[in-house]
Structures are given as structure tokens and as C-alpha cells.
Structure 1
Amino acid sequence: MTDWIKRTFWQYVARLILRNRIFILLCLVAVTVLMAMQWKHMRFTYTEANLLPDDHPVNQAYNEFLEVFGEEGNLIVIAAKDSALFTPENFNAWNKLSKQLQAKPEVSMVVSTDNLQKLVKNVEKQQFELQDFNSAEVSSDREVDSLKNELFNRLPFYESLLFNKETQTIRTAVYLDKEIVNTKVRKHFIFNDFIPLIEDFEESTGIDLRVSGMPYIRTLNSQNIIDEIGTFIAAALLVTSLIFFFFFRSFRATLISMVVVITGVMWSFGTLGLLKYEITVLTALIPPLIIVIGIPNCIFLINKYQQEFNKHGNQAKSLQRVISKVGNATLMTNMTTAAGFATFIITNSKLLTEFGIVASLNIVFIFILSLLIIPIIYSFMSIPKTKHLKHLNKRWINTFVGWMEDTVRNHRIAVFIVSLIALIASIIGIYQIRISGSLIEDMPKGAAFFDDIRFFEEEFDGIMPVEIMIDTKRKNGVMKPSTLKRMDDLEELIREIPELSAPISVTNLVKYSKQAFYNGNPDYYQLPNSQENTFILSYAKKSSSNANMLSSFVDSTGQVARITTFMKDIGTDKMEGIQEDLDKKIKKALPEERYDVTVTGKALVFMKGTKYLVNNLIMSLSLAIVLISLFMAYMFRSFKMIIVSLVPNILPLIITAGVMGYLGIPIKPSTILVFSIAFGISVDDTIHFLAKYRQELAANHWHIRKSVYRALRETGVSMFYTSIVLFFGFSVFMISNFGGTKALGGLVSMTLLFAMLANLILLPSLLLALERNIANKKVLKKPYIDVLAEDEEEEETTVTP
């Protein structure tokens, strides 16, 4: 009864599609136009990917810091390491660049040699004042040398912030307006104002400038994502169309498939706009993913149409059977693929949840588009010619299928031994995998700004901010001598950590005040003792200049202070070790009973996000396995068949994980996606094979060996076609400049290749080896859902050309 209902349903769907083809085409055009109208709502991300839920303690701590001190990622730094800078012409040009930047409305402040101010003592007023370091253009080498000497030898307050004394590298700090730093205004400023000014300076002076800072890096990185979307789509279309044409040798079949996937791409962009999701490094992958996943649908449908027409030469019957037979199979396989992506929704990470929603929805959309467009367009076209059907009898394909059958028939022991060796070797490799949570690891290694990141790491010990927020639990507690001493002790301990830069805090300003009190003598750049405190404090209280400088380091109540340091680009494992070391130093210098100390910053938030993501993605992969196992159980009603079907799909994942360990590819947000994506796609082959196998068992009176070999011959060609398309389709992502995207493409391609071999060789071998325990009427009962319907005479649908 269930089979009759299912067959009747799909026959009804076939009649509905073919009898209303013009109306359906008009509806598809209308929906496509509506989706295209949603493109205007697409937004490109202007912030780093936050992998943590909003209510996570680490996120809450970071947001609390932002509430007290404001956006910390608004600094852009420009540096020059060239002795030619210290000539009158070039030094004046360097200062002019600072003036030009300061004049921009998007810039809140520039700290450079142009506007650098020295803290000096006014004896008459008994207060500190700010005096210009460089008040006018220099006109001689002597003036430049004098300023250079004073900067490097008499202003330790600015060391690490504006210069490296050892290498004589000098830099300018540009602070963007905090209100625009996470908006599209930032992008406009950097591309239209900032970069042209840098290029003009380099052209006029011949000095190579280095630029970095999170706003600058994020802007160029986002632009790379935007640029790659078009490249990926073009490459995916080119590769899949060439492979498709190679298999089918038909321009019209290739063209129809391109119409399907291009429409799918338009819908995917429309979905992003409709849901108002940002385009991130992950959601940018969805349009080319739809191409790669959509082409196998086209292969199954067009291949079935040509097979049916080759049998009986009736176009109407062929088109109806395409929908009623392959429609059911492609629905099941697309649903398992969509389920693999949908499991990302449970991660509670906004980045992955949005990716999972859009990807799973559009996999369903591409199935619907394939099922509607291909039969309808073919119904308007002339019948296939002999040349269109030649590919059905290719000798090399028959040779490949023959090799698989021979391997399964005569070399099963070798198959099991190779599989076991691969499993053991992979488990060893898995133990060598490391977890990475670096903000910049996946950024384009060939980009100029990546070289600049390394430059700043070498010269100034990093660009990723780590913030230590100290709550003294009492008003004006920060400026207490005991607190300043403890903070200074902590900063000395931080300097002992090679991966962190010299810290910057209120202690630097207090030390500078003492130096100013002693007429600028750098030997007195240190915290004042108890006797000096009284005199220096009296000067500081009268100084408005000190109050302005103090606001960057202490909150308005004087209760909370910050210590800022910068971290080099290191892996998560090292970062965790540094955090543990830092926590010990903090507890030693600032006792918990007297101070509340929070360690935060972009680098640490990203590290915690990676750890959180890895744990949640393991859960999502487990959920994908459970969901698909339940689906297999519903299909075959056999627990033993579930176990057998999972083996050829989980083994490739284990092998891939082992390869990652051996090749040093870390687990990170991009590579962890490989497993859920590959599992959701590779299980499609298992469903096709087992469904055909069960059908053959019934047709061959439960003759197991005969059924296995016939199922292998029947499904081997289509599985090979689709696997090749998927392999080369995902390989397209390897042209990316982003390390994570490149690794994702390579690893998914490799996993799907392993999965194809496992499903075509290991799975049949297991069925034959366990034939008495598995393939019998008691174990393998008639399924609830028969994916491949039996061949039978169906009502023909009249299609008027």
C-alpha cells in the first residue's frame, strides 16, 4: 500500500509538472526576479567573525571592556624602516602625511612625529604642560638628527608605540573614529582616502611603508572575500561544465545544467539578501557550493532521461519516468546533504548558524530547480540524437566498472587489509592534530598586508591586542601608589613573555610625569617613590594635559584601569599556555581579594571561539551521523544495515583526519567543516547503492552475489560521474588565497574521493563477506521508502511540443 501511494504521488508530480510547464516556468522566472531584487540587501561583514554566542562569559567580559573603554580595534599603524626617512624632504613628507590623515573626518586622532607632544614642567604655574616635539618643517640634516636623537633617547614613553630604538623603525598611529570602525564608512575611507595617501607618499619619496592594524586588515580581508566570490563562481561553472560536457558530449545538456545552477546561484544570493545575513568567509562559499552540488542532480536526471529514451524512444514516457523515478532518489540524497549542513544550526555560533540555514535551504532549492527545469526544457526540445546517447556505452567506463567488480569478487581480503591499515595509520595521525585559533592564520599569505603583519610582529611584537582590565573596587583606586606598583610589577612579568609586546598603561604616564618633573631626564623614567609622590601629584592635579592622556588608560571614576599588550600570531595551544602563565602572574601581582582582573581582547575571544566551535562541531557531526542513521533505519528497517552503511562513510572521515595530522593541517573553524559537509554528501552514494541492491535482491530472489554485482554495475557509472564532478568542483576552492578555504576544498575533495572508493569497493565487499548475517529476508525487510522504484509501465503523459 505504501509503495502504491508513493508511486502514485510521484506519477501525479510528473503529470503536474509536465502539464503545467509554461505556468511553472513563468513562476520560476518570477521567483528568480524577486530573489534578484533581494540582492540589494546583501551586506558584507565589517567585523571579525565572532564564533561565540552572545551570552558566553568570554563575550560578556569583552563587551564589558568595550563599555568602559570603547572600541579597542580602531588603531591603524604606518611604519617605515629606512634611513632615507631621516632627510629633511622625506621627514617633512612623513609629517605631512600625518596632517593629511588627521584632516579626514573618519580619523579621531593621529599620533606621529608631526604632532608628538612632550610632557614638560612649568615651574611658575607648578603644573605639567604639553609642548610640541616638532613645531615646524625641518630645513637641514642637523635639525632632523636632533629630533631623531631626542625621540630615540629622551622619550621612552613613546617607545614601542612610535618607534623601535634598536632598529630605528618609526611609525605613526592612526586612531579611527570608534563610531565608524565597524561600518561601511571604514571601507570607503581606507580604499578612497587612506591607501591613495600611502601610495602618493611611497611614490614621491621612494620609501616603502608598512601598514597594519585590525581595521586595515579586516577591510582588505573582506575585499578579498568579495573578489573571490566571483572567481569561485566562474571557476566552478567552468570546471563543472567542462566535466559535464566530457561525460555527455552534448552542448544542450551542458547548457541546461548551467541554466539550473546559475538560477540556483541567483537564489542563494537572494536568500542572503532576504534574510539580511552578512557575507562572510563561510557564506561566500555557498554560491559555488550550490553549483558543485547541483551538477550531480543534473547528471542523475539527464542520464536517466537518456537511458529511458534509449530503451523505448518515447520522449513523453522518458520525461515522466525521470521525475517519478529519479525525483525520489535525488530528493532523498539532497535531503541527506542538506541535513549535513543543517546540523551547523545547533552550534549557537551566529557565523555557522547562518551558514547552515542558507546552505541547507539552497540545497533544497537546487533540487526543486533541477526537478522542474530539466524535464520542462527537454519537453520543448527535439528528441535526443544518436550522438547524445553515445556516452551510455563508453568503453573506458565499462573498464572501470569491470575493475571494481573484479576487486570485489576476487580481492576482498586485500580490500579489508588495506582498509584496516588505513584505519590504524589514520588513528595514529589523528593524535598529531593540533587546534588553531589564530585571527590571521587563514588570511591570504601572498597578500602585501600579510607580509606587513609579519613585519610588525618582528619590529613591535605583534598587532593583535590583549587587554587586561583591573577593577580596584574603589573610586580613584588606580592612582594609589600601591596599585601602581603592583601594575608595574605585572608589566615587568609580561615583558618576560616573548610572544607579548611591551605593555602600555597608566604606569607609563606616571613614569613620564616623573621624568618631566626632573626636566625630561630619561634616567628618571620610573615610578615615583613615596617622597616624590607628593610633589609630582601636586603638579599632575593642576594639569589638564595629564587628564586628557589619562582618559585612555583609566575610566572616568578612577576605579578601573587597563593594560594593553599585543600578541604575536601563534597557535591556540601556545595561546592557552600564555594565558595560563599570564593568569598566574596576575594572581601573583594583583591579589584576587583586592582586585577584579579580566583578561580579554580580540585574540583571546577568537581563541575561545575556536575551542567552543570545535566542541560544537563535533556535536553537529555526531548529530548528522545520528540523523542519517535514523534515515537509513527508516529506509531499510535493519540495525545491521545501518552499521554496514556507516562504515564506508565514517572511514573516509577518519582517513582525512589522519592525513591532516600527518600534513600538519590544524583543526580550525574552516577545516572542521570538512567532516559534516563530506559526510552529508558521501552518504548519498551509499543510499543509491543500497537502494539498488535491495531492489536487485527482490528481483533476483534474494541471490546475494548476483544482486551485489548487478547493483555495482547499475550504480557505479552514476556514482563515478557525480564523484568526479564533486572532486573537481570542491577542488575549485583550492585556488583561494585564504588558507582555510583552500584546506576546506582540498580536504573535502579528498574525502569524497575516498568515500566513492569505499562505497564502490568496501561496501559491496562487506555485503558479500557478511551475506548470511545481513542480506536475508529477515534482516533486510522491505523498506518504508523505496528510493529506486521498480520498472513498470506507467501512464504516459502527453506533452505537446
Structure 2
Amino acid sequence: MSKIFSFGFWNSVARLILRNRLTIIILIVAITIGLATQWKNMRFSYTEANLLPDDHPINQAYNDFLDKFGEEGNLIVIAVQDSALFTPEKFQAWTALNDSLETFPQIDYVLSINGLQTLEKFNDPNRFEMVPFIEEGNPDQNQLQEYENELFNGLPFYENLIYSSHSNTVQSALYVNKDIVNSKERKTFVLEQLEPLLNEFYENYNLDVRVSGMPYIRTLNSQNIIDEIGLFLLAALVVTSLIFFFFFRSVRATFISMITVCIGVMWAFGVIGLLHYEITILTAIIPPLIIVIGIPNCIFLINKYQQEIQKHGNQAKSLQRVITKVGNATLMTNLTTASGFATFILTDSTLLKEFGIVASINILALFLLCLMVIPIIYSYMSLPREKHLKHLNKRWIGAFVGWMEKMVRHHRISIYIASVTLLALSIIGIYNIKVSGSLLEDMPQNAEFFKDIEFFEEEFDGIMPLEILIDTKRKQGVMKLSTLKRMDRLENLIAEVPELSKPLSVVRLVKYSKQAYYNSNPKYYQLPTSQEQNFIMPYIKGMSSTDNLLSSYVDSTGQYARITTFMKDIGTEEMERIEENLWPQINKIFPEDRYDVSLTGKALIFQKGTNYLVKNLVLSLSLAIFLIAGLMAWMFRSFRMILISLVPNLLPLLITAGMMGFLGVPIKPSTILVFSIAFGISVDDTIHFLAKYRQELKSNNWKIKRSVYAALRETGVSMFYTSIVLFFGFSVFMISSFGGTVALGGLVSATLLFAMLANLLLLPSLLLSLERSIANKEVLKEPAIDIIESPEQEEETSEEEKNNKN
């Protein structure tokens, strides 16, 4: 009954499409225009990807920190490493640059050497006041040398704030307005105002200005993503169209395919806009992904159309049979591909969930587009010429299929040995895989801004903020000397960690106040004793809160303190090691019954998010395998066939994982996608082969060898075509400047290549070796649906076509 329904259903679909061609074209145009109106809702992400669920404790701790102190990643730093800076001409130029930066409304204030203030003690009344470090006017060379000497030797308060402890590098800190730091206005300021100003400064004064800081890095990184979307789309179209033309040698077939996938790309952008999702480094790859996945659909449909034309030359019959014969196969393959992406919807990560939703929706929409657009366009065109059909009889394709048949027929043992050897090597490689939660690793490492990141890491020991939030559990608890001493002990521990910079906190100001009390002698830059505190406190109380450069490090109640350190670009394992060493010391310094301490910051959240994704990778991949196995169980109704079919699809995944271990490609958010994507696509070949194999079994009276070789010859060409398109299509991503996208493209391409060989060599070999246990009617029960139309149904189709004509 299900067979008849399937057969009748696709005939009905074919009649519906071909009899309502104009209506369907109008509908597609209307949908395309409607989705195009949603493009205006697309917005690019202006913050780092948060991979953790909203209710995760790490996220909750970060939100708690934001409630107390606001956005932490609002610092842009510009630096100069040049001894000529402390000459009158260069110093005046540097002063003018900083003064002009301070006039921008996007900048709250600029901390620079020309605007530097020092803490001085005054009497009558007793007070500290911030006074200018550099007197008004244009200092001469002698004065500048004195300032330089005093800065580097007499002001430890400004170490790693204004000057580097490693060299004579001087920097200015630009505090971006927190209201715009995660908005489009930040991008406008950085690209249209800050960058031109710094370039002009370099050209005029030949001072090499280095720029970094999370707002700057995020802006240039997101701009690179925007630029690469167009590059990927163009490259994917060019590569796939060239390969398509090479196979079919038909301009119009290539043009029809490109039109179809371009509509799919327009729909993909429209769905992103319709759902009001941000374009991230993941959703940015969906449009070119649509092109790569859509072309195999076009290959199956156009190849079948040309085969039918070559067979009988009747266009109406050919178009009818394209839909009825290929409809089930393309539906099942697109369903399995969409299932691979849909597993991401079940994760708690918003980033992956949005990627899974958009990708799976558009893959199914693309299937409908191909099924309707290609037959309809061909129905308005003349029959293909003889030269367009020559590719169906190419000798080199026949030689390739002959080689596969020879390997399966005579060298099965070699195939098994090669498979087992690759499996063993892969397992060794898997043990060498590392996990990377670096925010910077995937960024374009040849870009100037990445070189600046390395510069700041060397000079200032890091650029990514790591925040420590301390709750003293009582108001004004932070300024108690006992708390300050505990914070100082923790800061000394942090300073000893090579991957972390010297921390910033209110402790610095208190140490500086003692130095100021003792007439700015740098040897007194330390916390006061309890006795000294009694002398110094009257001077501190006289200070205006607005003069306190570090007022943002203590909340208004005095209960919460913030310690900020900056991390180098370290991986997850290194950060876990640092945490493992720090936490026992933190708990010892800050007893849990008196203090609550938490580590937070976007860099830490990203690393924890990577760990979270790795833990969910097994779940996501297991769900993909379960869903696809369920589909195959429904199609073939044979548990043994499911097991056999999974082997050639899981082996390539293991080989890819092994390659990652040997090549040093870490598990990270971008490479995590490889396995579910590749599995969802590679299983398509298995479905095609097994469907044809089962049909051949029935036709050949359950003779295994004859059926396997017939299925191999029949499906080998289409598998080769689609695999080559997919291989080169995904290879397009390797032109990216983002390391993660390069790894994604290369690994998926390699996986699909291994999957093609596994499906054409290992799968037939397994079927032949296990023929006694699977080649019978009890094991291979009647399928729920016929993926490939049987000869009997073909006769029924011909009969029905005759009746329709009558």
C-alpha cells in the first residue's frame, strides 16, 4: 500500500508541477521578493559568540559582574615603540593625536602620557590631589628626558597602563562609551574615524602606531566576516559552475543550476532576516553552503532528464519521470543532510541552535526549489542537443567505475586491510586531539590587527580581559586593610603566571596613596600598615571621587571589588591548568564563609563555551546517527542493513578525527561542525547505493554478486559527480583568512572524499562478504517507500501516461 502511495504521490506531484508552471513561477518570485524585503532585518554580530546556555552558572556570574561594573571589554589601546617619541616634534604630534581622540563623543576619556596626572600630598587641609604630570606648554628635549625617566622609574602605578615593563613602549588607553561598545556605532567609529586618523598620523610623522583592544579587534574581525561572505559566494558559484560545466558541457544546464541555487541563497538571507538572527562566523557560511549542497540536487535531476531524453526523446515524458523517479531519492538525501544540521537545534547553545534552524530550513527549501525550477525551466526550452548528452558515455567515467568493480571483485581483503589500518591510525590520532577555546585563534593571522595583538601580548602580557569579582559580603568591606591585603596577595600570585598580566584594582590606588604620602618615593609603592593607614586616611577622604582613576574597580556600596588582568592567547588546556592552580590559593586567601570570589570575562566564557560544545558533540553526533538510522530503518526495514550502512559513514568521521590529531587541528567551535555536516551529507551516497542494490536484488532473483556490481555501475557515476562537486565546493572555504573556516572546509572535503571511497569500495565489499546473512527476503523486507522506481512501476508509469493522453 505504501508503495502504491509513494508511486501515486510522486506522479501527482509531477502533474501538479508541470500543469501549474506559470503559477509556481509567480509563487517562487513572490516568495523571493517577500524574503528579500527581510534582508533589512539582517544584522551582523557586534560581540563575541556566547556558546553557553543563558542559565549556565558561568553566564550567570558574568551577568552579575555586568550588573555591578558594566561592559568590561570597552578598552582600545594605541601604542608606540619608538625612542624618538620623547623628542619635541614627535611628542607634540603624539599629544595632538590624543587630544583629538578625546574630542570624539564615542570615547568617554583617554588615559595618555600628555594628560597623565600624578597623586600629590597637600597640607592645610590634609589632602591628595591629582596634578598634571606634564606642565602646560611645549616641553624641550631636557624636560622630555626627565619625564621619560620619571615615568619609567618613578610611577609604578602606571605600569602596563601607560608604559610597558619590558621596553620603552608607551600606550594610550581609550575608554569607549559602554552604550555603543556592542553596537553598529562602534564599527562606524573604528572604521571611519579612528583608522583614517591613525593612518594619517603614521604618514605625517612616521611613528608606527599599534592598535588593539577588544572593541577594535571585534570590529575588524566582524568586517572580515562581512567581506568574506561575498568572497565565498562568488568562489562557490565559480567553482561549482566550472565543475558542473566540465561534467555536462552545457551552458544552459549550468545556467539553470546557478539560477536555482542563487534563488536558494536569496532565500537563506531572507530566512536569517525573517528570524532576526545575527550573522555570525557560523551563519555566514550558510549561503555558500546552500550553493555547495544545491548543485548535487541539480546534477541528479538534470542527469536523469538527459538520460530520459537519450532513451526516448520525449520531453513531456522525460520531465514527468525526472520528478517521479528522482523525487524520492532527492527528498531522502536532503532529509538526511538537513537532519545532520538539525541536531544542532537540540543543543542549548543559541549560536548553534540558530545555525541548525537556518541551515535545515534552507536545505529543505532548496530541495523544493530544485524539484520545481529545473523541470519547469526545461519545459520551456528545446530538447538538449546530441553534444549535451555526450557526457553520459564518457570513457574515463567508465574506467573509474570499472576500477571500483575490479577492486571489489578481486581485492576485498586489501580493502579490509586498508580500512582496519586507517581505523587503527585514526584511533592513535584521536588521542592527540586538543581542545582550543581561544578567542583569537580563528582570526586571520596575516592581518595587521592580528600582528598588533601579538605585539601587545609581548609588551603588555595580554589583551583579553579576565575579571575577578570579589564579594566581601558587607558594605565598605573592600577598603578594609585586611581585604586589601588579601587582594594584594592574589594579585602577586596572578603576576607570577606568565600567561597573565599584572592586575589592575583599587589596590594600586591605595599603594600609590602611600607613595604620594612619602613624597612620591617609588620604594613606598606598597600597601600601608594599619598605623600608616590612620595617617593616610584623612588625605584619601579629601579626594574627589571623580579624580579616582580606578573608581570603576569598586562598586558604589563598597561591597564588591573587581580585579582585572589580561590574558595572552592561550588554549583551553592552559587556562584550565591556570585555574586549577589558582583556585586553591584563592580559597585559601578568601575564606568562603567571608568572601565570594568568581572568575569571569568574555574570554573565559568563550573557553568554557568551547568545553561545553565538546561535551555536547557526542550527543549531537549521536542524535544525527540516530535520526539517520531511523530514516534508513523506515526505508529499508532491516536492522542488519542499518549496521552495514553505518560502517562506511562512521569510518570517514574517525579518519577525519585522526587527521585532526596528527595535523594539530584542535577541537573548537568551528571544527565541531565538521562531523555532523559530513555525516549528514555522506550518508546520501549510502542511501542511493542501497536503494539501487535492493532493486537489483529483486530484479536478479536475489543474486548478490550480480546485484552489487549492477548497483555499483549504476550509482558510481552519480556518486562520483556529486562527491567531486562537494569536495571542491567545500574546499572553497579554505581560501578564508579565518583558521576555523579553513579547517572546516578542508576537513569536510576530506571526509566526503573518504566517504565516497568507503561507499563505493567498503560498502559493496561488506555486502558481498556478508551475503548469506543479509541476502534474503526475510532480512530485506519490503521497504516503506521505493526510493528508486522499479521496472514494474516504470511500466505502470508508461501505461498511465498513455491513458492520460487518451
Normalised TM-score (structure 2): 0.98
Which structure 2 residues correspond to residues 724-743 of structure 1 after superposition, within 5 A?
724-743=724-743
* Aligned residue in 1 for 2:541: 541
Deviations 1:570-606 (A, max 9, x none): 1101110001111122112212121111111112111
Change in CA separation of 1:529 and 1:546 when aligned onto 2, cut-off 3 Å: farther
SS in 1 for 2:477: coil
* Aligned residue in 2 for 1:556: 556
Residue pair 1:316, 1:796 contacting (<8 A) in 2 also: no
Residue pair 1:320, 1:796 contacting (<8 A) in 2 also: no
Which structure 2 residues correspond to residues 10-89 of structure 1 after superposition, within 5 A?
10-89=10-89
* Aligned residue in 2 for 1:566: 566
How far apart, CA to CA, are the structure 2 residues paired with 1:546 and 1:336? 62
The amino acid across from 1:179 in the alignment is D
Which has the larger displacement, 364-373 or 138-147?
Answer: 138-147
How far apart, CA to CA, are the structure 2 residues paired with 1:566 and 1:41? 36
1:545: how far off? 4.9
1:492: how far off? 1.0
Q: Structure 2: which 5+ runs fail to align?
A: none
Deviations 1:66-113 (A, max 9, x none): 110111000000011111211111111111111111100010111001
How far apart, CA to CA, are the structure 2 residues paired with 1:782 and 1:387? 41
1:139: how far off? 4.2
Residue pair 1:128, 1:546 contacting (<8 A) in 2 also: no
* Aligned residue in 2 for 1:207: 207
1:491: how far off? 1.0
How far apart, CA to CA, are the structure 1 residues paired with 2:385 and 2:576? 65
How far apart, CA to CA, are the structure 1 residues paired with 2:562 and 2:804? 76
* Aligned residue in 2 for 1:751: 751
How far apart, CA to CA, are the structure 2 residues paired with 1:282 and 1:798? 52
Deviations 1:627-677 (A, max 9, x none): 111111111111110100000000000000001000110001111110000
The amino acid across from 1:323 in the alignment is I
The amino acid across from 2:350 in the alignment is K
* Aligned residue in 2 for 1:136: 136
* Aligned residue in 2 for 1:292: 292
1:797: how far off? 9.2
Which structure 2 residues correspond to residues 601-616 of structure 1 after superposition, within 5 A?
601-616=601-616
SS in 2 for 1:670: helix
SS in 2 for 1:748: helix
* Aligned residue in 1 for 2:405: 405
1:143: how far off? 1.9
Which structure 2 residues correspond to residues 15-414 of structure 1 after superposition, within 5 A?
15-414=15-414
SS in 1 for 2:669: coil
The amino acid across from 1:359 in the alignment is A
The amino acid across from 2:422 in the alignment is A
The amino acid across from 1:449 in the alignment is F
SS in 2 for 1:457: helix
Change in CA separation of 1:41 and 1:799 when aligned onto 2, cut-off 3 Å: farther
1:622 is aligned to 2:627: no
How far apart, CA to CA, are the structure 2 residues paired with 1:126 and 1:137? 29
* Aligned residue in 2 for 1:781: 781
How far apart, CA to CA, are the structure 1 residues paired with 2:297 and 2:290? 11
How far apart, CA to CA, are the structure 2 residues paired with 1:132 and 1:564? 26
SS in 2 for 1:583: helix
How far apart, CA to CA, are the structure 2 residues paired with 1:562 and 1:36? 47
SS in 2 for 1:53: coil
How far apart, CA to CA, are the structure 2 residues paired with 1:569 and 1:16? 58
Deviations 1:226-271 (A, max 9, x none): 0000000000000000000000000000000000011000000011
How far apart, CA to CA, are the structure 1 residues paired with 2:786 and 2:749? 29
Q: Structure 1: which 5+ runs fail to align?
A: none
SS in 2 for 1:108: strand
How far apart, CA to CA, are the structure 2 residues paired with 1:598 and 1:110? 29
SS in 2 for 1:468: strand
* Aligned residue in 1 for 2:586: 586
Change in CA separation of 1:546 and 1:309 when aligned onto 2, cut-off 3 Å: closer
1:166: how far off? 3.6
How far apart, CA to CA, are the structure 1 residues paired with 2:234 and 2:583? 49
* Aligned residue in 1 for 2:636: 636
1:124: how far off? 2.1
Q: How many residues align?
A: 800
**Identity rate of aligned residues, in percent?**
68
Residue pair 2:45, 2:280 contacting (<8 A) in 1 also: yes
1:762 is aligned to 2:777: no
1:135: how far off? 3.5
The amino acid across from 1:499 in the alignment is E
1:146: how far off? 1.6
Normalised TM-score (structure 1): 0.99
SS in 2 for 1:163: coil
SS in 2 for 1:325: helix
The amino acid across from 1:480 in the alignment is K
Deviations 1:725-773 (A, max 9, x none): 0000000000000000000000000000000000000000000000001
* Aligned residue in 2 for 1:512: 512
1:799: how far off? 12
The amino acid across from 1:129 in the alignment is E
How far apart, CA to CA, are the structure 2 residues paired with 1:510 and 1:553? 12
Q: Over aligned residue pairs, what C-alpha RMSD do you find?
A: 1.2
* Aligned residue in 2 for 1:464: 464
* Aligned residue in 1 for 2:693: 693
1:137: how far off? 4.0
* Aligned residue in 2 for 1:796: 801
How far apart, CA to CA, are the structure 1 residues paired with 2:48 and 2:146? 42
SS in 1 for 2:801: coil
Deviations 1:290-336 (A, max 9, x none): 00000000000000000011111111000000001101110010000
Residue pair 1:120, 1:128 contacting (<8 A) in 2 also: yes
How far apart, CA to CA, are the structure 1 residues paired with 2:682 and 2:376? 29
The amino acid across from 2:71 in the alignment is E
Which has the larger displacement, 724-733 or 5-14?
Answer: 5-14
Change in CA separation of 1:129 and 1:632 when aligned onto 2, cut-off 3 Å: same
How far apart, CA to CA, are the structure 2 residues paired with 1:749 and 1:592? 51
How far apart, CA to CA, are the structure 2 residues paired with 1:179 and 1:547? 22
* Aligned residue in 2 for 1:489: 489
How far apart, CA to CA, are the structure 2 residues paired with 1:464 and 1:166? 19
Deviations 1:405-432 (A, max 9, x none): 0000000011001000000110011000
Change in CA separation of 1:297 and 1:776 when aligned onto 2, cut-off 3 Å: same
How far apart, CA to CA, are the structure 1 residues paired with 2:562 and 2:121? 26
